[in-house]
């Protein structure tokens, strides 16, 4: 090819902008072949949408990766056997496994107090390629705020297109402070629970917490035990349905988003006589509406091609 670079650039810039192709309610439950099964580490990308037609792919067609999943965790350094990891499972779902693998006495050095307050977390962040724009995102979970000897709770966040949060991260604090923070109950439109026993709902734009804390009883004694599951453990009764959607977090219909992030926490509220405390929480599906590709991608791809062409000259 013997086109002077400037002429080629002019040609690229005058190409008509490629139209955007809408897709509606594409649902992924992580059983799709692209996701595979097994432990996730770092960031992994998946090609699951046809970038031209907007259709869900059944096999890799070689175009761009559309969904990216990033996993991370934080473990208390004083708690032997604390763990957190994430995996895609064969039956479907994106699961976090987290907890304290050892009995209390094998977790801490001799003399550790009841309710040591150690906190672990497991974070899963889902984002999308630049060629994907999103105008709706629905998702569902199970086992976010489960009863047991330790306190399991979760924070869920919609992300702006640039990956930031819509509002600052809600503060939950430890088991005791959350009890006082939610007594009297906050004025959330959903999530009212027993006064003084924590609460679940949307504390601020883009955020939802499942953080009832009467899931554990006897905190401060030598042997805590199970209370009841949090009322939003599986996001039932959330504005007329049983999954998370824009209405649950104050986002207007059609709001552009860039992704979603969820973090599950376990505060070690155990007493010295407790056994191991192991947990899971599972994202069952995501359902997305939007377009491919974004308006500028034709130009970006063309410019990338130009760059390749120029290197080859």
By CB under 5 A, name the binding residues for Ca ion: 47, 49, 51, 63-64, 66, 140, 143, 146, 234-235, 238-239, 241-242, 245, 248, 279, 281
Question: What value does the CA radius of gyration of the chain take, rounded to a whole number of Å?
Answer: 23
- How many other C-beta atoms are found inside a 10 Å radius of the C-beta of residue 220? 12
| Gap between the Cα atoms of 231 and 229, Å rounded | 6
Nearer to Ca ion, 137 or 178 (CB): 137
| Gap between the Cα atoms of 21 and 133, Å rounded | 10
| Shortest distance in whole angstroms from residue 144 CB to Ca ion | 6
| Shortest distance in whole angstroms from residue 157 CB to Ca ion | 15
Question: 105 with 222: CB under 8 angstroms?
Answer: no
DSSP state, 34? G
In the block, which residue shows the tokens 């705020």?
A: 145
Nearer to Ca ion, 142 or 160 (CB): 142
Nearer to Ca ion, 37 or 52 (CB): 52
Decide the pairing of beta strands 259-267 and 67-74.
Answer: unpaired
- Omega before 197 within 30 of 0, i.e. cis: no
DSSP state, 81? T
Nearer to Ca ion, 1 or 252 (CB): 252
| Shortest distance in whole angstroms from residue 171 CB to Ca ion | 22
| Shortest distance in whole angstroms from residue 10 CB to Ca ion | 30
Nearer to Ca ion, 27 or 105 (CB): 27
| Shortest distance in whole angstroms from residue 158 CB to Ca ion | 13
């Amino acid at each position: 090819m013997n086109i002077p670079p400037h002429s080629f650039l002019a040609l690229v810039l005058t190409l008509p902008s490629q139209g955007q192709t809408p897709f509606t309610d594409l649902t992924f439950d992580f059983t799709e072949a692209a996701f595979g099964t097994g432990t996730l580490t770092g960031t992994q990308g998946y090609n699951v949408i046809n970038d031209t037609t907007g259709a869900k792919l059944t096999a890799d067609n070689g175009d761009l990766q559309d969904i990216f999943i990033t996993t991370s965790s934080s473990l208390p350094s004083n708690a032997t056997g604390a763990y957190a990891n994430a995996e895609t499972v064969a039956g479907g779902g994106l699961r976090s496994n987290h907890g304290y693998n050892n009995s209390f006495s094998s977790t801490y050095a001799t003399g550790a107090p009841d309710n040591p307050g150690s906190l672990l977390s497991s974070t899963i962040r889902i984002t999308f390629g630049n060629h994907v724009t999103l105008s709706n995102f629905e998702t569902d979970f199970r086992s976010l705020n489960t009863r047991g000897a330790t306190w399991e709770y979760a924070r869920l966040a919609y992300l702006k297109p640039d990956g930031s949060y819509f509002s600052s991260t809600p503060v939950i604090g430890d088991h005791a402070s959350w009890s006082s923070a939610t007594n009297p109950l906050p004025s959330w439109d959903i999530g009212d629970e027993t006064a003084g026993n924590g609460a679940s709902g949307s504390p601020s734009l883009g955020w939802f917490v499942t953080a009832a804390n009467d899931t554990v009883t006897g905190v401060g004694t030598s042997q805590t035990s199970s209370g009841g599951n949090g009322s939003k453990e599986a996001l039932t009764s959330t504005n007329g349905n049983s999954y998370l959607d824009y209405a649950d977090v104050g986002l207007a219909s059609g709001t552009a988003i860039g992704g979603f992030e969820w973090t599950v926490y376990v505060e070690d509220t155990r007493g010295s006589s407790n056994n191991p405390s192991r947990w899971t929480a599972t994202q069952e599906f995501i359902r997305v509406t939007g377009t491919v590709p974004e308006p500028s991608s034709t130009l970006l791809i063309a410019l990338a091609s130009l760059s390749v062409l120029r290197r080859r000259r």
